[in-house]
Each structure stands twice: as structure tokens, then as C-alpha cells.
Structure 1
Amino acid sequence: MVTDLQTLGRAVKQAQWRHHRAVDRLLAELGTSLTQWDALRAVAQAPGASAHDLAQRTFQSDQAFGTLASRLAAQDLVTRAPGAGRRIEHRLTPAGERLLAQGTVVVEGFLAESFSGLDEGERETLVDLLGRLG
């Protein structure tokens, strides 16, 4: 059997889209979104990172991440401070750390349920296959 590549591409996109929408709905109960939670996660993983670095980590343009970072700063979730040259460094505030922790519980719970139909070996295979595409 030959799988139609457009069908395969659509199936991957559909799974991603369903996950994004479901997690967004769950995170809305905490007053945040998947995009914001992912930005907080990126800042936590790379404290002091530039907006450009964080944009790449979150699959956004520099401009989009700059706008998002400004909103997160206005909500007292991140701080933005001058670094070397024109670099602006980002760090989580205590409120950002709390929201990230709360959101992580939600995201991990959703993912555990979503992937519960796959055993550990199948999950490893899926990660390997998706990694080969990149």
C-alpha cells in the first residue's frame, strides 16, 4: 500500500492542530494560552536569552515574539532587561514561574491522556520518525 503524501502531511497537521486547540482551551482556564505558556517555557529553559533566540525556540518570527514578550512583561510574567549591545534579555518573574508550573501540569496531563493509546516503544518510534523529517 502506498500512502498518499498529501494525506500523510494532513494527518500530521491535523494531530498537531487538535492538540493545539485542546491545550489552548485547557490553558484558558488558567488565563493563558499555549503560545504564552510555550514562551514562558522557553524563557525558563534559557534564562537571559534574547528575543531572537526565544523566537526560534517557539517557532515564531522575531516581531511576533517581541509583541508577545511585551504582553508577558505587561502581565508581570517576564522581565526584559538590556544585555550586551542591542540584546534584550528575558527572565521569568515569580508570577511567570507559577503560571508556567500550573500550565505544565495541564499540558503534561493532556499529553499523557492523548498518547495513552501508544506504548513506550510506539512513542519512541513516533519521536524518531518525526525527528527524521526535520
Structure 2
Amino acid sequence: MQFRSIQMLMVPAILASLSLGLAGCTPSNEMATVPVTGKVTYKGQPLPSGSVIFIASGAGPTADANIGPDGEYSLGTYSESDGVPPGEYNVMVVAMTGEDSIDAEAATGSTSLIPSRYSDPSKSGLTASVKAGEDNEINFDLAE
């Protein structure tokens, strides 16, 4: 009889634990975002492919975007082009031959279209300040 009462207590406890764990996966934990768009150029010409990645300087999510053929991008944090939480960011740009995303870095035989320092947020020298209620058009002109 005592075993049955322990079972009766365990089922609600397990269900409560599961629902608390699932609650942490809901969109309510997502930070508010604002649109961020821009253009990436290299030596004055639009970068035709690649990725732009914004890495929060403090605590916060990372955002990324594919660069279009005209060099333009629109960042997304939780889904494509949904924007970025306001804050300060270190930025990296990855652009490999024949590829349009960060996965290209792992591809064999591909070479970078831009100097390798831009693919390291601590060496790229690229930063961005995203502000709520403002037009966040952030352009990057990459140099040799």
C-alpha cells in the first residue's frame, strides 16, 4: 500500500518537472528584437555572398544573416530576418568561394573571398551598436 502512495506522488512530481523544463523552451524567453539591415562591401564593391554574424558583447544571443548577391543582409536571431536585441555587438563576416553561408568554412577546397581576420570577431575590428526605436542600417566596408 505504501508503494502505491509513493507512485501516486511521483507521477505529479515528474509531470510538474517536465512542464517546468518545457516552459524554458517557449518564445516568452526570447528577447525583444529590432530590425537590422545593411550592406557589406569589400574594396568598395558589394560582397556577393557569405554570412554576417553579430555576437553580443555581453550576455545575449547571436544573430546572423546570409549576404545576398547585392551585398545586402537582414539579421535574424530566433528566425530568419526577425531582427536583433538592442545592445553592443562584435561582428564577423565569413565569405568563401562558391558558398553563401558560414558552413562554407568547413568545405574542402574553398578559399576566403576576404582577409581571414574578418572571420574572427576578436580580430575583425567590426562592431555594431543596435538601438531600439532607431533605423539600424549597419553597413560594413571591408578593406585589404
TM-score by length of 1: 0.29
- Which structure carries more relative contact order (alpha carbon 8 Å, separation 6+)? 2
Higher strand fraction (1 or 2):
2
The structure that has the greater radius of gyration is: 2
TM-score by length of 2: 0.28
